[in-house]
Amino acid sequence: MAAVKPTPDFWRGKRVLLTGHTGFKGSWLALWLARMGAEVTGLALAPATEPNLFTLARVADGLHASHECDVRDAQAVAAHVQAARPQIVLHLAAQALVRAGYADPLATHATNVMGTAHVLDALRGQADVRAVVVVTTDKVYRNREWAYPYREDDPLGGHDPYSASKAAAEIITASYRDAFLAAQGVAVATARAGNVIGGGDWAADRLLPDAVRAWRAGETLSIRSPEAVRPWQHVLEPLAAYLRLAEVLWHAPTQAGAYNFGPHTHDVATVKKVIDLACGAYGSCGVSYEKNSKNVHEARYLALEVAKAREELGIRPEWPLEKAVQRTMVWYWGLSSGRDAKALCESDIQDYEAGA
C-alpha cells in the first residue's frame, strides 16, 4: 500500500504559522507549503549559517510574511500570532544541535522549552487556530541503549541538554493541550523525528554537511562515532509526515498526541554506512575514524517504532537510505555545478510527491 501524501487541495489558502522557517528543515517546509498554495507567515531568527538554504532558494519570495523573531521573546511572539491569525501552526523553531546544547545549555533550554511555551501560550484565545504540530526529536526518550526501537509511550528523558530540553517541550506541549487548547477546539500533536539529511544543510557538526565541506576542500573527513546507529531519513520524509499529521488533526482532533516518524526499523544504519554511501555517490573522498575520543556523551543506538504513524496516519517511508543519501549528494553536486537551489528543491519535492 502506498503512503498517504500531503494534499495540495487541503493546504491551498490555509493560513499557516511556521516557526523556524529560516532553518534547514523550515526552508524546505516553507517551499513545499508555498508550492501547495498555503498562506505562510514565518517567524524565526536570521539564518544561522552562510551559505544557507533560506537565502539561496529565495524562500521568502513565496511567503505571505517573513518576520525575524526570537521565540524567547513572549511579547513579540504573541503580537505576530495575533496579526497572522493562523489556522494551522507548525512549530519548528529550536536550537537543534546536541553539541551546541553542551556549549550553551541555558540558551538551549530557553529556546526549546520556554520558546515552545511562548508559542503555545500565544494561541490561547485565538479563534481561528485548529491544528498545531510541535516538532521535537527522536532523542526525547530516556535512552537505555537497548536493541529495540522506542515507542511513543516509552519514558521521556535526556542525558544531554538538547535531549532534555526537547523532552521538556513534550511535557509543556501536553500540558497546554490538556489545560487550555483542547477545550478551545485546538488539536495539538508532537512529532518526534531526527537525523534528517538532504541538500541545503550547512550546519556545523552534522554528518553530511561536514562531509561535503571536507571533500570539496580536498580534506579528510574525521568521524568520531562510526558505529553509532541512527534512524536516518531524507528531509522530505518527516516534512511530509508533519503536513499529513496537521491534515488529520484538522479533520479528526481526537488524533492529537505524540507520533514517531522515521525509517523502517530495518533501515536504521551506522554513521559508517551513511558515509560509505555518501562517498560512493560523491566520488573522491577521504575519511578517518577517531580513536579514544573524549567527546561528550552521545547515544550509541537509537531507533524509533513508527507503527502508530503507519496505522493511524497512513504514513510510510518512501525513500530508503541509499536513495536518501544519493539524493542529498546529487543536490550538493548540482549546486556546486551552478544549478539553482530552489530548482533543486522543487525537483526533489516533485519526485517525492510523484513517488519517483
Mean pLDDT of 202-219: 93
Residue 86 has pLDDT above 60, yes or no: yes
pLDDT at 348 exceeding the cut of 50: yes
Judged against a pLDDT cut of 60, whether residue 299 lies above it is answered with: yes
Give the phi and the psi of residue 189 in degrees, each rounded to 5: -135, 155
Structure confidence by residue, pLDDT tens digits, 170-181: 999 999 999 999
pLDDT score of 319: 95
Going by C-beta distance under 8 Å and a sequence separation of 6 or more, which residues neighbour residue 135?
25, 90, 91, 92, 94, 190, 191, 193, 238, 242
pLDDT of amino acid 1: 45
The candidate with the shortest Cα–Cα distance to 95, out of 78, 112, 115, is 112
Say whether pLDDT at 356 is over 70. Answer: no
Q: Are 40 and 28 in contact (CB under 8 A)?
A: no
Place of cell 556546486: 336
Listed residue (161, 164, 169) closest to 132, CA to CA: 169
Q: What is the pLDDT of residue 300?
A: 79
Using DSSP, state whether 44 is helix, strand or coil.
strand
Distance, CA of 35 to CA of 39 (rounded, Å): 10
Q: What string of H, E and C letters represents the secondary structure of 233-290?
A: EECHHHHHHHHHHHHHHHHCHHHCEEEECCCCHHHCEEHHHHHHHHHHHHCCCEEEEC
**DSSP 8-class letter at 68:** E
Q: Tens of pLDDT along 151-163?
A: 999 999 999 999 9
Query: 268-285 pLDDT, tens per residue?
Result: 999 999 999 999 998 878
**Residue 3, pLDDT score:** 73
Q: What residue ranges define each of the domains in the chain, with the CATH number in brackets? A: 12-354 (3.40.50.720)
328 neighbors 208 (Cβ within 8 angstroms) = yes
The position carrying cell 531524507 is 234
* pLDDT above 90: residue 36: yes
For the chain, the helix, strand and coil percentages under 3-state DSSP, each to the nearest 5: 45, 15, 40
Burial group, residue 329, by CB count within 10 angstroms (0-12, 13-18, 19+) = buried
CB burial of residue 193 (10 Å; 0-12, 13-18, 19+): buried
Amino acid 146: pLDDT: 80
DSSP 139: G
| pLDDT tens track for 118-131 | 999 999 999 999 99
| pLDDT reported for residue 291 | 63
- pLDDT number for residue 205: 86
Q: What is the separation, in whole angstroms, between the first and last Cα of the chain?
A: 15
Percent of the chain at pLDDT exceeding 70: 97
pTM of the predicted structure, to 2 decimals: 0.96
- For range 17-36, the mean pLDDT: 98
| Region 123-150 average pLDDT | 94
- Asked if the bond preceding 51 is cis, omega within 30° of 0, the reply is yes
> Rounded mean pLDDT of 97-105?
94
